[in-house]
Structure 1
Amino acid sequence: MYKKLTLGCLSILLSANLAFALNEPHEVKVLESINSGAYTYLKVEEKGEQYWAAITKTPIKVDSVITIKEQVWMKDFKSKTLNKTFDKILFAEFPKKGISGVDNIHSIHGDMIKKKQKQTMKPNPKFNENIVIANGSPIKTNISEIFSNKDKFKNKNVEIQGRVLQVSNKVMGNTWVKIYDGKEAVIFRSPNEDEKVSIGKKVKVVGTINTNVDYGFGYAYEVIGVNGKFEVLN
């Protein structure tokens, strides 16, 4: 979902609930590392500045020096699993050895993309098993409402708007797009593996909400949108 801003722009970033960036690298020293839920929370130091960052759950040793890629700064973010509110926190990608430079939604996507370079891979039919595609007009709503009322929206068509946070094209015959509506983020899968959406763009997406889906290979979701059709708004 966002355009490049450096750490030096922190005062500007904190004037809103969030600000966006495109893979701005930060070399940081890890002062504290906490695994909780789907994330690893890191207290880091960069050029004398200390702040918190969150990456996809990964073992990180204290005192190690790592490079993380900036995705989005958030203000007053509450971690339910930690029962802690961060005044400010950077959500970032930690490129793992061997897949650096791959823009992933999940690190496993990078592994799949790397493998695809070595062999021809057909879309895995597991992604399409047990997927319900609804009929009828979509319900206009937002991501927070969907998460709060999963049973209401299960197997229903919805229309939501938000900004693109992450994009993974050509992943097992799909494009995976994570969008953010100001409060929550959710992934919508498009059957078009060449979906033309870019990080930072505001989009409208129509698709079917599936809940408690486990495709295997680490792809498990409390809520996910499938058969997404995207329209770039600006």
Structure 2
Amino acid sequence: MTRSLPLFSIILAISLAAATQTAQAFPKGGFTNLSAARHAGETPLPLSGTVAETMNAGGYTYIALENKGAKSWVAVPQMEVTVGKKMSFSPGVEIANFSSKTLNRTFERIVFSQGPTEQQAPAPKAAPKEAPAKTAAGKNGTAKVEKAAGPNAYTVAELYKNKNTLNKRKVAVRGKVVKVAMGIMGKNWVHLRDGSGSAKKKTNDLTVTTTAAAPNEGDVVTAVGVLRKDRDFGAGYKYELIIEDGTLEP
């Protein structure tokens, strides 16, 4: 069962592509009368359709999508959008009765998304069989990363295996950054993998939330923070295991 989102200031990054840029908040006073929109019986807003209207304000782009005769609104970090183009957007936080003082209008329902969904890239060509592997890889295909040092250090797989014992305890884990989502709920969400765990069982990827500057994808960092299990933030942000308010070190 999805829990209602708490009332908080929603912060989105000005540019998701600039991984090192600090996320900026919406203009002060730009939000009024916020309330979680996932009320019982409501139909989730479609996040795909034809662009019917678009406008920029305060570093953000507001987009009206038409889908089967229905119109819905999506807000993303400012980008170029063409009216008449078919677009799809990543799931986000849905808000009811959102009033924007910058635009001087109220949106009955609007979804704050990270941006358009990425088109699937073509699969890379296989390397010649005679080419030696440059790095050791775990069972899930991710290059192995040396485990962090210290009594509270664990691999990603060890954290999942001992999640009941380690829940709400401070831990350290070292891994490679495979994905970064900036400025969601006022934090940067960093996905780490270290070559341990199982992709099939979904025990090979650990998310860390942090207010520190976002790392680049491909960086190897050590995350230190409190481990929590079975966290449901609503709006699709549900995690079997997560490190909250972590610090990141090279």
TM interval, short-chain normalised:
0.3 to 0.5
Q: Report 1 or 2 for greater relative contact order, CA contacts < 8 Å, sequence distance ≥ 6.
A: 2
Bigger fraction of residues in helix:
1
Bigger fraction of residues in strand:
1
TM-score by length of 2: 0.39
TM-score by length of 1: 0.42
